[in-house]
Amino acid sequence: MAMALMLSVGVAHAGNAVAQSPTSIDELPPDQKVSETVIELAGWVVASNDSEGYPFAVIDKTAAQVLVFGGDGRLRGAAPALLGSAIGDHSAPGVAGLALREIPGRDRTTPAGRYVGGYGPSIDAGRVLWVDYDSAVSIHPTATGVPSEKRPERLASPSPDDNRITHGCINVSPTFYEQVVSSAFKRGGVFYILPEKASIADTFPEFAGSHTTSHSSSAQDTRHASQ
């Protein structure tokens, strides 16, 4: 299972900072792996208290995965996600003020970065969980208003290659949203969205800096131990 792999790698790379909740939910395909970057970033968030005790999520756009952690750092769930149809790590200026049908295809991106989000009102969907209000990116259950988009089928497929279909928002299954996302973020939280074109260093400089330092320290320890 993806969670078992994450935990085993997390022990080596996150200093045991990330643990799995006994009630965590795993919706990832059985053979789908979680990247070491996701594991190391989650471990760093917990070890550095970067989320300040709030729940957080790590979204891997390339793998089309969402991993949700509680404020205690325990993994609450992992699931596939649908993401913006356009490749890119930034939101176009003014895109938040456009109706969905007015957003050009090239601007339908899910931006990368660290966002402090929470529930709030929207113009057309009631109360939603905003990841980034300024760019109008939210996380919500899979939208089914346009059957030809086949969003539930895309979400259920074992490959992430067909998960790019939204206007920029993050879609997860209704079950995962109700059982994991809505309960974890009812008082807000932090969202870390990995880049797909920009570098990790540009997107998460503090994480990248600590990551480089820790690897340098490990190398020095190895040299000292062998002398």
What local confidence, expressed as pLDDT, does residue 213 receive?
A: 54
pTM of the model: 0.86
Distance CA 148, CA 154 (A): 11
Examine the pLDDT at 96 and tell me if it is beyond 60: yes
Q: Which two tokens stand for residue 95?
A: 């895109």
In degrees and rounded to multiples of 5, residue 174 shows phi and psi of -55, -40
| Cβ(143)–Cβ(123) below 8 Å | no
Average model confidence (pLDDT) across the chain: 86
What local confidence, expressed as pLDDT, does residue 212 receive?
A: 62
* Distance set, CA 87 to CA 93, 109, 196 (Å): 16, 6, 7
In degrees and rounded to multiples of 5, residue 53 shows phi and psi of 85, 0
What local confidence, expressed as pLDDT, does residue 221 receive?
A: 45
pLDDT band at 225, cuts 50/70/90? Answer: very low
Q: What is the pLDDT of residues 112-152, one digit of tens each?
A: 999 999 999 988 778 999 999 999 999 999 988 889 999 99
Task: Please state which of the ranges 4-13, 20-29, 203-212 shows the lowest mean pLDDT.
Answer: 4-13
The domains of the chain, with CATH numbers, are 2-215 (2.40.440.10)
Q: β-pairing, 170-172 with 137-141? A: parallel
Task: Please state which of the ranges 64-73, 100-109, 195-204 shows the lowest mean pLDDT.
Answer: 100-109
Q: What is the pLDDT of residues 42-74, one digit of tens each?
A: 999 999 999 999 999 999 999 999 999 999 999
Residue 122, C-beta contacts closer than 8 angstroms, at least 6 positions apart: 128, 138
